[in-house]
Amino acid sequence: MSFVNTFYEFELKVGNYTILSETEELSQHWIDYFNEKINCERCGKQYKRKDFPFDKKTNKPKKYCCRKKYTYKINKTYKRKQYEKRFKLINNNQNILCLSCKKYKLEDEFHKYKNLIKSICKQCHSEKYKNYISPKHLEERIKNKEKRIKKENELIFCNRCRKSTKRKDFPKEPKSNKLLKYCCLINEMKERELLIKQNLKRCTACKEIKDLNKFYKTQGKCRECRKNYLINLGSTKKRHNLIKKTNDNTLVGKKLSKLFIDAKKCSVCDIDMKYEDKTLDHIIPLTKGGFHSIKNAIILCRTCNSKKSNKDFEIWLNQLNSKYIDNFYKSIKYNDNLINIKTRFEKWHQQVE
């Protein structure tokens, strides 16, 4: 022990401590203090205060005289005794006391850890940790919630009605709970349910409301539209067969794509075309002896191509205006691939004059 004073008359050594005091009475007081007996709080051993172990770094007495190992052994033996007290034989069966509900239960009703039975039974454990959430699990929940909110507020664009709606407000199928392809389909579904109650149905082809007797059971088209569809399907198959027979491999790959890219305007009506509006037309139809070749192909808009359909070359030219005929001749005039059609056009023009 040390005292901050300017002048000391007495200097004494008591065990590991040095005492500095001004008077003799004070020094005697400190001697009695250090000779006082003390018990260790952990192991219960008795020491004089001067002999109690101290820390060399801080020059202060330690809290306990014994080490942790000694206390660990004491606690271990104490715990072992408490553990063994819980076991009891009831009706020739080994039962164990649950420290939570204070009831004796069989061994199967307890969890085990390192071949030792836990202090609480399974039932009490589930009740205790029923609402417990670990911090990691809580973080995951918050992240998932943020993701879900972000996904729900995501905008979905409908390609049919050109409207954008939030995912949470986007209509869903009633049975599968999946998102519909288009947001406006929900109105059609509601209309369909109301019509079925009245024994009516709307045709998907002609869009007319008719009796259910005029429909097949599983199809959306009425019987008349179904017949027309099958006729057109047969004509498309014939068309594919004609293309295979008359094909000379000049309208394939890059050549075909170049033909579409170069055509900026329709060669009949001279209107600016987007890529979606462009269609390939056989000048002399395949059904009238034409070939699927670059020497017989031209790109027209959808309206001009549908008006032309499979008419003869000369008949089609007679139906055109003088303006459209001039536009068509300009597109043919400097095209080296369409020389045969150019000569045929000139013959027709001479006959007309």
The three-state DSSP-derived secondary structure of 196-252 is HHCCEEECCCCCCEEEHHHECCCCCCEHHHHHHHHHHHHHHHHHHHHHHHHECCCCC
* Position 273 in a domain: yes
Same domain? 187 vs 255: no
User: Does 331 fall in a domain?
Assistant: yes
The answer on pLDDT for 226 being more than 90 is no
Are 252 and 337 in the same domain? Answer: yes
Element (H, E) at 189: helix 185-197
pLDDT, tens digit (0-9, with 9 covering 90-100), for 297-345:
888 998 898 888 888 888 888 888 888 988 888 888 888 888 888 888 8
Residue 266 or 236, more confident: 266
Q: Would 49 be classed as within a structural domain? A: no
Q: Give the C-alpha separation, 286 to 282, whole Å.
A: 7
Residue 73 confidence class, pLDDT cut points 50, 70, 90: low
Q: What is the pTM of this model?
A: 0.39
Rounded CA separation 192/207 (Å) = 12
Confidence of residue 289 (pLDDT cuts 50, 70, 90): confident
Owning domain of residue 257 = 247-352
Last residue of one domain, picked from the residues 175, 198, 221: 198
Q: Is residue 27 part of a domain?
A: no
In the chain, the number of structural domains is 2
Does pLDDT of 19 surpass 70? Answer: no
* pLDDT tens digit sequence for 129-139: 888 888 999 99
- Residues 265, 339, single domain; the answer is yes
Query: Do 338 and 257 fall within a single domain?
Result: yes
Tokens read off for 192: 């369909």
For residue 6, pLDDT beyond 50: no
Q: What distance, in Å, lies between the first and last C-alpha atoms of the chain?
A: 136
pLDDT given at position 52: 82
Q: Is there a domain that residue 151 lies in? A: yes
Examine the domain organization and report whether 262 and 329 are in the same domain.
yes
Query: Are 191 and 263 members of one domain?
Result: no
227: nearest Cα among 209, 205, 195: 205
State whether the Cα torsion 193-197-199-200 is positive or negative: negative
338 inside domain: yes
- State what percent of residues in the chain have pLDDT above 70: 89
* Cβ within 8 Å of residue 117, ≥6 positions away: 96, 107, 110, 111
- Residue 264 maps to a domain: yes
Give yes or no: residues 186 and 263 share one domain.
Answer: no
Confidence of residue 196 (pLDDT cuts 50, 70, 90): confident
Which candidate, 287, 230, 269, 160, places its Cα nearest to that of 279? 269
Which CATH number fits the domain that encloses residue 270?
Answer: 1.10.30
pLDDT at 154: 93
Is residue 172 assigned to a domain?
Answer: yes
Query: In whole angstroms, how far apart are CA 208 and each of 122, 195, 230?
Result: 67, 12, 19
Backbone dihedral region for residue 162 (phi beyond 0: left; psi -120 to 50: alpha; all else: beta): left
pLDDT for res 312: 87
Are residue 264 and residue 337 in the same domain, yes or no?
yes
Among 33-47, 177-191, 198-212, which is the least confidently predicted range? 33-47
Residues 21-32 pLDDT 10s: 556 666 677 778
Say whether both 253 and 344 belong to one domain.
yes
